[in-house]
Amino acid sequence: MKEILVTGGAGYIGSHVVKMLAERGYHPIVFDSLENGFAEFVRGHELVQGNIGDYALLADIFRKRNIACVMNFASYIAVGESVQLPLKYYANNVANTFELFRAMLDSGVKRFIFSSTAAVYGYPEEVPIRENAKLSPINPYGRTKLMIEQALQDIDAASGMKFIALRYFNAAGADPGGNIGESHTPETHLIPLILRSILEDEYTITVFGTDYRTHDGTCIRDYIHVNDLADAHILALETLVSKGESAVYNLGNGRGFTVREVIDAVKRVTGKNPKVKEGPRRPGDPDVLVASSEEAMAELGWKPQMAELETIVETAWRWERQRKRKGW
Ligand code: UFG
């Protein structure tokens, strides 16, 4: 069985990838500090508790095991927090990630799949956004991701470490089984917060800005199901093994929905009324972010299976109720 080291594998996207890797005959080894991940999300899988800045621990794993590829989900992801605490982001998302690369190179592990983000584009000049669009992040979070993409190109040129960077748009939804899903502290993402405004008496969701240049005045985003993202990671792994070429791909559905349209989808799926109020814009939000994922489809053979917004919301709703019951 092929062993894959999944750093940050006990988090939201990582845990979905771990589950799918195992289902497809791989042996995932989860490496997670559990600062933001949950051991419960990876029950039944091998888990090593550690930080990606821990060169010695990683080098030890690479020496003892036969790791075919590393997938890295171990990064901080909150855009707003990255503006307030840039050093926290540069320290983990950049400096610690370099320790991971050092341990990989010193041990001869030369395949890497990287979680990048639409945030590397900043305010896009054209939508849908293609991979060759201008890279101009507008916050420290996006800059940390772009720095790693650039470093990966240099490391590939110098050492032949091959990588695929996947630029996610808005990851959403949960495994239909209902046992793993999104759980961030604090939660900042739209769909779980709308659902919370249904489940929690005291919570009302605020629509951030109603004067954007869109058909209903609210921001447009491209929501992509977390299991479709997971599938893309496994296809990326297999493509990296078969072709041995580094590449960068966008991952989105290619369709955008406004904040109000997402709220309407939640109403249809749940049959309930979210508590909604309108507020000012959140700094740094572009009007529209929609992906062109044609390259991922053509080169990885990727095709999203849960592209409907209702399906995404339905799986998130199932998870959110389960999460509340379990107190996660
Ligand atoms: N929104 C609200 N109210 C809320 C939360 C969000 O109106 O309480 C709006 C936002 O303004 C935005 C949309 O809902 O227009 C989606 O917001 P999210 O916070 O769910 O997601 P973002 O688009 O801001 O961020 C996502 C990822 C980031 C990544 C970014 C790339 O979570 O990691 O896409 O652009 F950087």
Point out the ligand 1 atom lying closest to the alpha carbon of residue 141: 36
Give the whole-angstrom CA distance, residue 325 versus residue 2. Answer: 36
Same domain, 241 and 209: no
Instruction: State in Å: Cα 282 to ligand 1 middle.
Output: 9
Tokens of 145: 């991701």
Give the whole-angstrom CA distance, residue 192 versus residue 195. Answer: 5
Task: Examine residue 297 and state whether it is found in any structural domain, yes or no.
Answer: no
289 in contact with ligand 1, CB cutoff 6 A: yes
Same domain, 158 and 270: no
Give the whole-angstrom CA distance, residue 285 versus residue 296. Answer: 25
Quick one: pLDDT at residue 1? 58
Give the whole-angstrom CA distance, residue 158 versus residue 41. Answer: 37
Task: Examine residue 296 and state whether it is found in any structural domain, yes or no.
Answer: no
Same domain, 110 and 212: no
Same domain, 203 and 243: no
Give the whole-angstrom CA distance, residue 90 versus residue 99. Answer: 13
Instruction: State in Å: Cα 251 to ligand 1 middle.
Output: 16
Tell me if residue 141 is catalytic. Answer: yes
Same domain, 209 and 228: no
Same domain, 128 and 196: no
Task: Examine residue 300 and state whether it is found in any structural domain, yes or no.
Answer: no
Tokens of 323: 């999460």
Same domain, 112 and 204: no
Question: What's the total number of domains in the chain?
Answer: 2
Task: Examine residue 162 and state whether it is found in any structural domain, yes or no.
Answer: yes
Label residue 84 exposed, middle or buried (CB < 10 Å: 0-12, 13-18, 19+).
Answer: exposed
Quick one: pLDDT at residue 326? 82
Give the whole-angstrom CA distance, residue 268 versus residue 314. Answer: 10
Quick one: pLDDT at residue 259? 98
Same domain, 240 and 273: no
Point out the ligand 1 atom lying closest to the alpha carbon of residue 172: 20
Task: Examine residue 36 and state whether it is found in any structural domain, yes or no.
Answer: yes
Task: Examine residue 301 and state whether it is found in any structural domain, yes or no.
Answer: no
Same domain, 230 and 260: no
259 in contact with ligand 1, CB cutoff 6 A: yes
Same domain, 109 and 126: yes
Task: Examine residue 129 and state whether it is found in any structural domain, yes or no.
Answer: yes
Per-residue pLDDT of the chain (328 residues; tens, 9 = 90+): 599 999 999 999 999 999 999 999 999 999 999 999 999 999 999 999 999 999 999 999 999 999 999 999 999 999 999 999 999 999 999 999 999 999 999 999 999 999 999 999 999 999 999 999 999 999 999 999 999 999 999 999 999 999 999 999 999 999 999 899 999 999 999 999 999 999 999 999 999 999 999 999 999 999 999 999 999 999 999 999 999 999 999 999 999 999 999 999 999 999 999 999 999 999 889 999 999 999 999 999 999 999 999 999 999 999 999 998 887 7
Same domain, 155 and 123: yes
Q: Which domain holds residue 274?
A: 190-221+254-289+306-326
Same domain, 111 and 126: yes
> Angle 164-170-176 (CA atoms, 0-180°, nearest 5)?
95
Query: Of 51, 59, 151, whose CA–CA distance to 98 is shortest?
Result: 151
> Which position among 26, 76, 121, 141 bears the catalytic label?
141
Give the whole-angstrom CA distance, residue 274 versus residue 264. Answer: 9
